[in-house]
Structure 1
Amino acid sequence: MTALKVLALSASLAVVSGCSTSIDDYRDTTPTFSLKSYFDGELTAWGIVQDYSGKLTRRFCVDIIATWQGNSGQLHESFYFNDGTRQTRIWNVNIAPDKSVTGTAGDVVGQATGQSQGSAFNWQYSLTVPIDGTEYDFAIDDWMYALDDKRMMNRSYMKKFGVTVAEFSIFFDKGARLPSCESQM
């Protein structure tokens, strides 16, 4: 019976692995997403965090100031959570001649790597998150999708030991000229 369970689990994992999304799946999609063009200047985004069961656990707003010198950029993110928590992350990003993207930030372990195809950008990295006085590292699988030249949807999956423990949904609107997040949360 145990061997049958192991075989069934292995078969299930093979099916799930075979269905995973690849950045190449978006090669011919439009509109074309450009990290450097979209993240240029001041942006505001709004998001939610859901736990492993899909329950909404937090809401947030993020103000971003993005600057570039050639293919090296800095994204200064100021997060405002509905529980009053504030967080800052400063990304230092580089776009290589082959259009691959690397980046670092204070709470990112090592280097983030990413690439885009068509309307999608996939960004992967390990993030250190403080929880109840202890720091944990989580794998982040971050997907950005251009909706048009002003709006973008971002879906991020936070994993530990290969299991998704939280999901983030973030909506960006470059056309919105609303007050800063600080006045909204």
Structure 2
Amino acid sequence: MAALLKSRYLTPILLLILLFMSGCSGPAINDYAGQEPELVPSEFFQGELSARGVVKDRSGKVIRHFDATIDASWDANGVGTLDEVFEYSDGETDTRVWTLEPRQGGYHATAGDVTEPGSMEFEGNAIHMNYVLEVPYGDSTINVRMDDWMYRVTENTVINETEMTYWGVKVGEIVLVIQKQP
């Protein structure tokens, strides 16, 4: 009988612990208020930029690397376009064109393979984006949540870290450096 009670209560207790732990959040964008150099999307993402980075699996092992170019522009209404072209070490190429529309506290971010539009907030030297990206998987695709943090470390350099999760489970990570071109 004691074993039955233990197993009967163990599952709900473990679920509550997992729920509590998943509610613990990481940094908030306002944690970076006042940090410099300031990272304002419409100022940093202007003209030609280049990026170089790695894709890691869920264990942290680098599974491929890439180079990217970004052609960034803004219209008179403050709407930004980031045209990204990625060239991966395995020969794959990929293009993503972001549209950033001004919203209260940041931007509304959309792209062709973004199935759940994102929000982009910025404060101090940081940008935070959260969105769902359609990613090829086998003969199909899956929707992966992207938790994207960018930090401006010099006038011409941003470091970008993205955690990828599927149903709340970490499946990978992307780390890259973005450079403004002179």
1:161 to 167, 170, 175: 167
CA contact (8 A) 2:116 2:133 kept: no
1:80 and 2:48 correspond: no
User: Structure 1's 162 and 12: CA in aligned 2 closer, same or farther, altered over 3 A?
Assistant: closer
Aligned-partner Cα distance in 2 for 1:102–1:12: 31
Residue 110 of structure 2 aligns with an amino acid whose one-letter code is: T
Query: How far apart are 1:119 and its partner, in Å?
Result: 1.1
Q: Which has the larger radius of gyration?
A: 2
CA contact (8 A) 2:162 2:173 kept: yes
Separation in 1, partners of 2:56, 2:49:
23
Match of 1:37 in 2: 43
Structure 2 residue 126 is the aligned partner of structure 1 residue 120: yes
1:137 has 2:143 as partner: yes
Report the 3-state secondary structure (helix = DSSP H, G, I; strand = E; otherwise coil) of the residue aligned with 2:154.
Answer: coil
Select 1:91's aligned residue among 98, 103, 119.
98
- Equivalent residue for 1:151, pick from 157, 165, 169: 157
Identity of aligned residues (%): 31
Calculate the TM-score normalised by the size of structure 2: 0.88
Among 41, 52, 59, which residue is 1:53 paired with? 59
- How much has 1:14 moved relative to structure 2? 2.3
* 1:8 Cα offset (Å): 4.9
Describe the shift of the 1:135–1:15 C-alpha distance in structure 2 as closer, same or farther (beyond 3 A): closer
Query: Mean Cα displacement is larger for which, 73-82 or 6-15?
Result: 6-15
TM-score, normalised by the number of residues in structure 1 = 0.87
| 3-state SS of 1:147 partner | strand
**How far apart in 1 are the matches of 2:70 and 2:56?**
22
Unaligned runs of 5+ in 1: 178-185
| RMSD across aligned positions (CA) | 1.7
Would you say how many aligned residue pairs link Structure 1 and Structure 2?
Answer: 175
Question: Separation in 2 of the partners of 1:74 and 1:133?
Answer: 30
Going from structure 1 to structure 2, the CA distance change for 1:117 and 1:60 (only over 3 Å counts) comes to: same
